[in-house]
Amino acid sequence: MSQLTLPLDIEVLIPKNDIAHFVNQIVETIPNEEFYEFTQPLNVIYMLL
């Protein structure tokens, strides 16, 4: 299946009362800065390959 066959917003495929909506709301409240310590420069990734 190619990406072109998927809807752009797959949220419409999830029922309104599904827990995935609640989990998404919680994750979206986490500031992006909390994830910065896990990022790596691209040159480090290329060295590992």
Q: What is the pLDDT of residues 15-48, one digit of tens each?
A: 989 999 999 899 999 998 888 887 766 665 555 5
DSSP codes of every residue in 1-49: --GGGS-S-GGGGS-TT-HHHHHHHHHHTS-GGGGGGG---HHHHHHH-
Which regions of the chain does DSSP assign to beta strands (E)? none
pLDDT at position 29: 95
Question: Domain boundaries in the chain?
Answer: 3-48
